[in-house]
Amino acid sequence: MATSNYLLIKQRSVIEFLAAEGCSAENIHARMKTVYGKMCISDCAVRKWVRIFKGEHPRAETILRDRKRSGRPLSALVTAHREKVDCMIKANRRVKHKEIANAVGISKERVHHIVTTVLGYRKVSARWVPRQLTVEMKAQRKDICTQLLELSTVFILA
């Protein structure tokens, strides 16, 4: 399944092509509806893009992709912040989001996003632990399980 952004770009290219051939907006929308079905853009959007591609719109540029929108840059996801957060967690597994946010200088929400999504930690017994087990942890779990299995067979046989 194509992503929605890819599908929009694809549909805009179809509109550009059919508008260059001289098809009306209604005809273009009807043809696109048969191909894309529920995923087809609205009739109003088709008319807008036909006007843009024919040069009848104030924004008469032949662009298919959406422009970058202005807004605050994602400075919280800089690798330096990630590394600082990771170092703080490794130094103290019981550190709180508020303490990390104050030390690094980013919001608590961004700290939570970095800790859980980017670094992959989760809270277990008030400690931050990695989501995935290391090779040593897997070996330790295997050893403990075999010891428990041996103990259970001894109790069953006794």
Instruction: Per-residue pLDDT tens, the chain, 158 aa: give them.
Output: 456 778 888 888 899 889 889 999 999 999 999 999 888 999 999 998 888 888 766 554 556 555 666 666 666 667 888 899 999 998 998 899 999 999 998 889 989 988 888 888 888 766 777 777 788 888 999 999 999 998 887 777 65
Name the residue with tokens 């992959």. Answer: 120
Q: Say if CB 116 and CB 122 are below 8 A apart.
A: yes
The fold for domain 75-130 equals: Arc Repressor Mutant, subunit A (1.10.10)
As a whole number of angstroms, the distance between CA 36 and CA 52 comes to 21
Residue 81 burial (CB count, 10 A): 19
Tokens encoding 94: 């019981």
pTM over 0.75: no
In the three-class reduction of DSSP (H, G, I as helix; E, B as strand; rest coil), residue 71 is classed as coil
